[in-house]
Chains A and B, each alone.
Chain A
Amino acid sequence: MHTARIKPTLESWREEARALLVRRVPPDAVLWFDASDEPSLFPAESSPPPAAVSPTPRVSAAFMELARTVAAHTDERRWGLLYRLLWRMTHGGERALLNVPTDADVRLAEQWRQAVSRAIHKMHAFVRFRLTGKDEATGREQFVAWFEPEHRIVRLAAPFFEKRFAGMDWSILTPVECAHWDGERLHFTPGVPPSAAPNEDALEDLWRTYFKSIFNPARLKVKMMQQEMPKRYWKNLPEAPLIPELIAASSVRVRTMLATEGLEVKPAPRNAYLESLPRKDHPEP
Chain B
Amino acid sequence: MDLQRKLEILADAAKYDASCASSGAARKDSRGSQGVGSTGGAGICHSYAPDGRCISLLKVLLTNACLYDCHYCINRRSSNVQRARFTPEEVVQLTLDFYKRNYIEGLFLSSGIIQSADHTMELVIEVARKLREEHLFRGYIHLKTIPEASPALIERAGRYADRISINIELPTQAGLTRLAPEKNLARTQAAMGHIHGKIEERLADKRKPEAPKPPPFATGQSTQMLVGADESTDADILQRADALYTGYRLRRVYYSGFSPIPEPSKVLPIKPPPLVREHRLYQADWLLRFYDFKVGEIVTPDAPHLDLALDPKLSWALRNRAQFPADINRAPRETLLRVPGLGARNVDRILAARRHCRLRLVDLLRLRVPMKKVLPFIIAADHTPAHLDLDGDSLRQRFLPPPQQMELSLAGPPPTAADNASVLTGEL
Q: Which residues of A contact B (CB under 8 A)?
A: 96, 99-104, 107, 121, 124-131, 140-141, 143, 145, 160, 162-168, 201, 203, 205-207, 209-225, 228-229, 237, 239, 243, 246-251, 254-258, 260, 262-266, 268-269, 271-274, 277-279, 282-285
Contact = CB atoms under 8 A, between A and B. Distances in A.
Interface of B: 3-4, 7-9, 11-12, 14-16, 29-38, 41-42, 44-55, 58-59, 67, 69, 71, 77-80, 94, 97-98, 100-103, 115-117, 136, 139, 148, 172-173, 176-177, 181-182, 184-186, 189, 257, 259-270, 272, 275, 349-350, 352-353, 355-357, 359, 363-364, 366-367, 417-418, 420-422, 424-425, 427
B148 A277 contact: yes
B48 A225 contact: yes
A70 B98 CA distance: 33
B67 A163 contact: no
Given A206-B3, A225-B50, A282-B173, A219 B266 contact: no
Contact of A282 (B136, B186, B355, B420): B186
B349 A219 contact: no
Given A165-B30, A209-B7, A214-B11, A100 B50 contact: no
A128 B8 contact: no
A224 to B, nearest CB: 3
A258 B265 contact: no
A125 B44 contact: yes
Contacts of B41: 160
Given A209-B7, A246-B50, A263-B263, A216 B15 contact: yes
Nearest to B117: A273
Contact of B48 (A130, A220, A229, A254): A229
Given A213-B11, A262-B268, A99 B67 contact: no
B427 A263 contact: no
A283 B33 CA distance: 50
Nearest to B353: A102
Given A213-B7, A218-B259, A277-B182, A164 B418 contact: no
Contacts of A96: 356
A248 B349 CA distance: 44
Most buried by A among B44, B48, B53, B261: B48
A20 to B, nearest CB: 26
A250 B421 CA distance: 7
